[in-house]
């Protein structure tokens, strides 16, 4: 028996983003596009629903849904740490690319010795990739210097930080 979602998994492995996979599933007449992007990108139900509304819903519908579910900002899977929406433009250090940010982390000496660490970074990469929309930028952010500082990765959409992950702290 063949996997009915294999085509969409293949699209992702070839570099398609969430928007492209979602639009293809809808164009294919799939009534389960939400389930497909959940599986392909490893998103929780609420994250996938929010992404679908961002892509296909009206701004009013998205705002009402976010208010109903208490989601003023994007949320992440339980294994991630989100920086609570507190990242602002003053904390952005430099733009980066998805591969440039994650390659050193997933191919580090520690990651090569510990498959769980490598899998963690691969899951993080998938979650970030699932959040990206056409025109988004990725930025490395940092708050503070020395002891007590922290940083990670942020998605900037139309000049506003819309999602941020905390990946390190001292």
Going through 46-159 in order, the beta strands assigned E by DSSP cover 92-96, 137-143, 150-157
Mean pLDDT of 116-120: 70
Domain ranges of the chain: 6-68, 89-169
Q: What is the pLDDT of residues 127-163, one digit of tens each?
A: 788 788 888 999 998 888 888 788 888 888 888 888 8
pTM score, whole prediction: 0.53
Give the C-alpha separation, 43 to 77, whole Å: 7
Confidence of residue 93 (pLDDT cuts 50, 70, 90): very high
Question: 13: burial class by Cβ within 10 Å (0-12, 13-18, 19+)?
Answer: exposed
Q: What is the pLDDT of residues 23-38, one digit of tens each?
A: 888 888 888 888 888 8
């Amino acid at each position: 028996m063949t996997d009915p979602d294999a085509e969409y998994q293949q699209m992702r492995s070839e570099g398609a983003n969430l928007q492209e996979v979602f639009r293809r599933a809808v164009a294919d007449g799939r009534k389960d596009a939400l389930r497909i992007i959940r599986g392909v990108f490893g998103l929780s139900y609420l994250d996938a629903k929010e992404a679908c509304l961002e892509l296909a819903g009206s701004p009013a519908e998205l705002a009402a849904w976010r208010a109903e579910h208490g989601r003023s900002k994007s949320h992440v899977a339980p294994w991630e740490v989100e920086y609570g929406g507190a990242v602002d433009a003053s904390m952005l250090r430099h733009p980066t690319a998805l591969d440039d940010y994650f390659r050193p982390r997933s191919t580090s000496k520690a990651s090569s010795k510990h498959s769980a660490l490598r899998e963690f970074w691969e899951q993080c990469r998938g979650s970030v990739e699932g959040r990206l929309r056409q025109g988004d930028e990725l930025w490395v952010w940092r708050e503070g210097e020395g002891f007590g500082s922290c940083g990670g990765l942020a998605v900037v959409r139309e000049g506003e930080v819309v999602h941020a992950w905390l990946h390190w702290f001292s």
